[in-house]
Structures are given as C-alpha cells and as structure tokens.
Amino acid sequence: MRCSPDGFSVSDTIMTNAVEGAIALIASCPRLLMTRSFVPFYDMQPSLLSVSHVIRDMPEYKGACLSIEGVISRDFAAALECAASLEDKRTIFDTCCAIDEELRTIRTRDDVHNQLQRLVGWHRGFSGLSEGFGAGCLFVDIAPMKALVMPAVTRAIEAVKAHAVVLAHSACVESLSEIRTRTTRLLARPEDTDSFGSFQEVCRLQQEEYAAVLIQAVHVDELYSLLAEHEQRAPMADQVRHDDLKEARITFAKALEDAEAYLLKKMPS
C-alpha cells in the first residue's frame, strides 16, 4: 500500500514552498536583518552576511525542519493505518467482479437469500462511509474507492436478482409439471381388475410423496416472495405460471382426496 504523493514528496514540498519560501522572503528584505538591533547576533559585519546561510545555521531552523519531518512521518503512518483498515474492501470488489462464478453455486432460495443479504449489507456499509478521513495534516480520500466499488456491488446485486428470477422460473415449471402429471394419474379411473390394482399403487405412491411434492411447491413460493422483498418483478408469464401452480396444488389435493374416497367405495366390505 502506498500514498500518493508519498511522505518524502510532501515533506520536500513543504520545505521548498513554505520554509525556503519564507527564507527567500526574508532575504528579500536585507535591511531588516542589518539594523542595529540584530548586530549583536553576528560575528561579522552585517554587510558581509548571507541571510539564507544565517537562517539555515540557526538551531531553531534545524529544529523546525526536524519537527516538520516528524509530523509528516507520523501523519503518513496514521494515514496508512487508516487506509489499511479499508483493505477488506478490496475483497468485496473482487468478489463482486467475479459474481458470474458465484452464481454457479446459487441454487436454492437460501443461497439467494444469503448472497443478497451479504451484498446488500456491503452496499449499505459503503453508503454510510464518509468521503474520507483526516489523519493529521493529511486526508485519506475514499471517494474514488466508493466510486469504483459501489457500482460493482450494485451490479452484483442485480445479477443475483436476475439469477433468482431464472431459478424461480425453472422451479415453477418443474413443480407445475410434476403436480399436473400426478393429478392426471389420480383422475384416471380403473376399467378392470388389473388396472384397479395399478390405481391402488398410484394412490399409495401419491400419498407417500404428497408432502415432498408440496415442499417443492412451497420452495417456489419462497423464491417469489424473496424476489418481492428485493423489489424484483418476475416476467408476467412467470407470475401467471406461479398462480397456476397455486391452483394446481389445490386440484392435486382434491384429486388425491377423491381417489382415496373412490378406493374406499370400491373396496369389498
């Protein structure tokens, strides 16, 4: 990690522009130092003095230079420490830039929720950051970092939400197809003794797998609810399909109930 400009450059600039500038200003007024009041301070005639040399040889000047360098050194150390505390933001940026790879691991509603929760938390954290931090005579400007990272986080959030729409679509299509297929099997009625036995087996399997089928449909509901929480609208066709899934569940439950009643009625007493 480095500062721009670095400590040496800042120190050199201050010494050149401020200290040396002050010396040049004083040197431009030689009559001031050649007055009778200053004569006791010199070992030679004032007319032979070099104002710049006199000042640079003074202990006060040397002490001031050391003090300036010390302050700059301490402030740069504080600035670097402050900047180091933001180093984890680099990981955030790298993660957001590689979001396409992350999407491959997102398959369930919980995966989407966890990823969005993390990304939204990062976005809020960056939004709450000030534009920078003071470190003595220095200012750690984080505006460029925010300008770089926040759009990356926003793009990652939108990518995950778009991926969730695709997941919800696929899950809804699969669940709706599964329920409709099972419902069709339950609506068929046996025409002879052999098919009656097969129908009994169909009903038994539907009863055993009923809970799992409903759980699959509930997962679809949860995905669409999550999208709504994050203000992500699904395509109209997907919304209609989701409504069809809700109706299909009711139809499936009724078909299973009717099939069980049919079997009880047909069973010999």
Ranking 13-27, 90-104, 231-245, 252-266 by mean pLDDT, the lowest is 13-27
Q: Which of 120, 121, 160, 128 is nearest to 146 (CA)?
A: 128
Q: Tell me: cis bond preceding 190? Omega within 30 of 0 counts.
A: no
- Please state the domain extents for the chain: 1-85, 165-266
Give the C-alpha separation, 235 to 227, whole Å.
12
C-beta separation of 222 from 109 below 8 A = yes
Q: Is 166 exposed, middle or buried (0-12, 13-18, 19+ CB in 10 A)?
A: exposed
Residue 139 φ/ψ, nearest 5 degrees: -135, 120
Going by pLDDT thresholds of 50, 70 and 90, the confidence category of residue 261 is: very high
Cβ-proximal residues to 166 (8 Å cutoff; 6+ apart), any chain:
none
Beta bridge partners of 133: 140
* 3-class DSSP state of 269: coil
Ranking 21-25, 129-133, 208-212 by mean pLDDT, the lowest is 21-25
C-beta separation of 142 from 126 below 8 A = no
Span 89-129, pLDDT tens digits: 888 999 999 999 999 999 999 999 999 999 999 999 888 88
Give the C-alpha separation, 48 to 20, whole Å.
21
Give the C-alpha separation, 191 to 96, whole Å.
61
pLDDT over 70 at 33, yes or no: no
Higher pLDDT pick, 186 / 90: 186
Span 119-174, pLDDT tens digits: 999 999 888 887 777 777 777 788 888 889 999 999 999 999 999 999 999 999 99
Mean pLDDT of 175-179: 97
